[in-house]
Structure 1
Amino acid sequence: MKHTRMLAAAMSAALAAPYAHAATPAPAQASAAVHPGTAELAAMRAEISAMKQAYENRLQALEARLQVAEAAAQTRAALAPAVAAESVPQSAPPSALAAPAATPVAAPAAAIAASAPAAATPSNLYNPNISMILGGTWQNLSADPQQYALQGFIPAGGEAGPGQRSFNLGESELTLSANIDPHFAGQLTFALSGENEASVEEAYVRTRALENGLNLKAGRMLSGLGYLNGQHAHTWDFIGAPLAYQAFLGGQYKTDGVQATWLAPLDQYVQLGVEAGNGDAFPGNARNRNGAGAYAVFAHLGDDLGASASYRAGLSYLRTGASQRSFSDAELEHSFSGRARLWVADAIFKWAPQGNAVSTNFKLQGEYFRRSEDGVLDYASATPDAASTDYRSVQSGWYLQSVYQFMPNWRAGLRYDSLDSGSLRYTLADNAALPILQSFRPRRSSLMLDYSPSEFSRLRLQLAREQSRAGVNDTQIYLQYIMSLGTHAAHAF
């Protein structure tokens, strides 16, 4: 700081030297009482004094900014593991092709000086970060959503389907997250439905300081299966989950349990993970048993393809079971008991010119599902004619979607969904078939256009045509808004 003041003094002296020489009267003129240039010299001296004061003010502003920067640097150094864990998505390849951060505008010196004490108080950074997602839709459906069903598949429950007609509040999210101490961090996310119901979507603690790329998580969490499953719905590029997610995971798979992931120390992105949970979520259900009721493993591989593209591919496996998992068909109650195995293969490719995704970018992603179930089917279980039969199914489904940002703030996308009810093996007493399990291949085509005024808001129009059961073609029109309030962690790649 002393060097800065010396430099300013030298500059001031250099500027003042010529005028000081001119202001000294020559010997021949010393006897003159008043010289005609005296007023001009006084004005010059005043100007020099003003310049010196301006330099002094600038030096004081620089000193204040330096104090703030030093305090911020000390805080970041103390909390570096926490900042890194919150700001870098764990599932991102070496380059996530993210848009560059906006250049900050320098604040006035008074504002900087006023903010210095707050910036130097690290305890504030341990308060929970709070974020809120507000969303809503308007829906026009040509088919009655009360009759919705995916023919050929045992229903997962009321969470599948296009939703209600007209205006809908949609699901809002409230998230609180913070570092607990140098070893742990925590997050709690509430899901608030339009039917005035509140539920815990995620509530977990995770480690922060383990070495060798290892990370542990415990609580309720979105599983690492596939690609979309681990992301909150407001980050999806289309309204609603793909048909495969509805048929095989009941919309989205959450588990109460533990998860361990390992990030390999390689130039490429390689992540391995394993989960053990209670198995209450579809395709399982609560079974009143000790120990884990579901297991999942997954592996992800990613890398850059030059300076403008990157990819990620993965393979996941889920094993769970069900006991008297009930469903309705033709106003009769049935149930399934047995085990379910699910394989998921996923891949995503992203392109942005020279890694700058601000103006234009392109994304192509898809997932393939294959599930087998073996067990016992109890049909008409609520009637005197209830009976049981062996049940086995091998079913599959997939989706492929692309999204292109053709100009800043504007994107367009296309998605195609397809399911195959596959082979179903069961025998009823009267050799008939349950209507819901009659063979069919549901499919849907969707077209999307959205506009994002900023990174915190999005408006979307989506058109879709769906055939979820034989003889029914549903034309769907959606309008959606998604608004983000408060701090929000970075999204996954």
Structure 2
Amino acid sequence: MRKAFTMAAIIASLIISTPALSNTEIALLKQQLDTLKKNYEQRIEALESRLIETEKRTQYIELKTQEAAVKPKQSSFLTQNSFNPAISLILDGRFADMGNDPDDYALPGFMLGGESGLGSQGFAVGESELVMSANIDNTFYGKATLGFHNDDGSTEVDLEEAYIQTLGLGNGLTIKAGRFFSAMGYLNEHHVHTWDFADAPLIYRGLFGDQLRDDGIQLSYIAPTDTFLQLGAEIMSGSQFPSAGEQNGIGAATVFANIGGDIGIEHSWQLGLSHWQANNIEGRTGGGHAHGEEDSAEETPSFDGDSKINAVDFVYKWAPNGNPKNQHVKVQFEYFDRKENGTISMLNSGPPLEETNFDGHQKGWYAQTIYQFKPRWRAGLRYDQLESDNTGFDDDVLMEAGLDSDGFKPKRMSAMIEWLPSEFSRIRLQFNRDKSYQESDDQIFLQYTTSLGSHGAHQY
């Protein structure tokens, strides 16, 4: 800057003292001034870019560690904790139009459970949530989530989450204990209202009954590296689908690893690997909500044995100048592979009881792309595909249990467009060309989602 002032003073003095200064010399001086100006502008732009990149990386790490930004001081704990929860209410409603009867839905080669199925025709309350969370003190953070959803015309209330999590444990370690969504895969930890489509990927529907959650403990570690690296493990009770272990024992376990980072200020990526395993499963019954009410005379498939699932996921994001508010692209991919060994029984059959040995192999994947083309508008495409190779000595039992796919590969294509008036509301229109069971189905969903009250940042 001092050079610029000096140069300006020289030019001024020359103009005053030397009226006869040639045009060539004046042009040369102006050129030198322009060069100095451009150099300083380039330096300022470089500093601004570095600042944006640093802020983006900081936000990325903060979201992954899930730690609150402000921690109460221990000395003032009693005063601040008198009533400190952040309370939010997620309201979700939808209209669904389907060509086939949703009560007849089945996924060939997979035993449905949990909350899997197509839901109800017409108007219905979607997955609404009441969330309470807060720093309990300078050591723990707590969160509880109540879920409200429609089931055959009636509203069910479910305790989806209830856990505590350590704050500032140090050395990159975090411990979570209670009921929570497993870190298996990428989408599983994300709440339904943050999904990019109105329904779960087919592979999540077939393996987890839409989502995998359980009671247990999770340990995660974030390495002190420039590239984001997270390692973790979970020990679960195994009381929730797709396991069915003892309530007082350890029925399931998960290990996972995530690595990711930024490429400049406009690109970011994350790659994940995970493994879930449940041994000595007893009495895992099929029949999700789509099959209606069960009665004592209805034959119900039940699985006893061991189950293992391996998964890989990848996410890529792009935002011009690192700012996703106006425009961004998100590409998401997940692949799951499950192997099971045990016995399939048809409860309430016989006598004698209908059963067969079972050697199951089920796998599937989905890929989706979301494009925000305007500040308040997003559009997306998704493709799902599954396949299975299940064997047993009694094919009739496998057929009754819905586990004999007869070579059929379920698939589905989805397209959606949504309008976001603000960060607290969304209107979505979605179309599915569903070929996941023998009769193809055209499905239309019109959905609204709103957020009331304080709501924390979403995960990457």
Q: TM-score, normalised by structure 1?
A: 0.73
Q: Which residue of 2 aligns with 1:454?
A: 422
* Pair 1:358-2:325 in alignment: yes
* Pair 1:136-2:104 in alignment: no
Q: Which residue of 1 aligns with 2:238?
A: 279
CA drift at 1:171? 1.8
* Pair 1:414-2:381 in alignment: yes
1:304 to 262, 267, 288: 262
Aligned residues: 378
2:146 to 160, 170, 190: 190
2:249 to 277, 283, 291: 291
Give the Cα–Cα distance (whole angstroms) in 2 for the partners of residues 476 and 136 of structure 1: 16
Give the Cα–Cα distance (whole angstroms) in 2 for the partners of residues 373 and 228 of structure 1: 23
Give the Cα–Cα distance (whole angstroms) in 1 for the partners of residues 155 and 397 of structure 2: 44
Q: Quick check: 1:190–1:199 contact (8 Å CA) kept in 2?
A: yes
Give the Cα–Cα distance (whole angstroms) in 2 for the partners of residues 412 and 264 of structure 1: 35
Q: Which residue of 2 aligns with 1:41?
A: none
* Gap change, CA 1:186 and 1:331, over 3 Å in 2: same
Q: Which amino acid aligns with 1:378?
A: S
- Counting only pairs closer than 5 Å after superposition, residues 144-293 of structure 1 correspond to structure 2 as 144-157=101-114, 159-194=115-150, 195-288=154-247, 290-293=248-251
Q: Which residue of 1 aligns with 2:400?
A: 434
Q: Quick check: 1:126–1:178 contact (8 Å CA) kept in 2?
A: no
CA drift at 1:344? 1.1
* Gap change, CA 1:457 and 1:426, over 3 Å in 2: same
> The residue matched to 2:456 in structure 1 has which SS?
coil
> The residue matched to 2:436 in structure 1 has which SS?
strand
Unaligned segments of structure 1, at least 5 residues: 1-83, 93-120
Q: Which amino acid aligns with 2:86?
A: N
Unaligned segments of structure 2, at least 5 residues: 1-57, 67-77, 292-296
Cα shift readout 1:272-306 (whole Å, capped 9, x = no counterpart): 01000101122101435x43110000000011012
CA drift at 1:334? 2.5
Cα shift readout 1:250-284 (whole Å, capped 9, x = no counterpart): 11000100000000001110000100010112210
Q: Which amino acid aligns with 2:116?
A: A
Aligned Cα root-mean-square deviation (Å): 2.3
> The residue matched to 1:354 in structure 2 has which SS?
helix
CA drift at 1:385? 3.0
CA drift at 1:177? 0.7
CA drift at 1:150? 0.3
> The residue matched to 2:224 in structure 1 has which SS?
coil
Q: Which amino acid aligns with 1:130?
A: I
CA drift at 1:424? 1.1
Q: Quick check: 1:335–1:381 contact (8 Å CA) kept in 2?
A: no
Q: Which amino acid aligns with 1:302?
A: G
Give the Cα–Cα distance (whole angstroms) in 2 for the partners of residues 87 and 312 of structure 1: 12
Q: Which residue of 2 aligns with 1:401?
A: 368
Q: Quick check: 1:126–1:180 contact (8 Å CA) kept in 2?
A: no
Share of identical aligned residues, percent?
43
> The residue matched to 1:90 in structure 2 has which SS?
helix
* Gap change, CA 1:369 and 1:87, over 3 Å in 2: closer
Q: Which residue of 1 aligns with 2:32?
A: none
Whose Rg is larger? 1
* Gap change, CA 1:211 and 1:91, over 3 Å in 2: closer
CA drift at 1:379? 3.0
> The residue matched to 1:357 in structure 2 has which SS?
coil
* Gap change, CA 1:282 and 1:154, over 3 Å in 2: same
Q: Quick check: 1:219–1:258 contact (8 Å CA) kept in 2?
A: yes
Q: Which residue of 2 aligns with 1:488?
A: 455
Q: TM-score, normalised by structure 2?
A: 0.78
* Pair 1:88-2:62 in alignment: yes
Q: Which residue of 1 aligns with 2:14?
A: none
CA drift at 1:435? 6.5
> The residue matched to 1:160 in structure 2 has which SS?
coil
Q: Quick check: 2:344–2:357 contact (8 Å CA) kept in 1?
A: yes
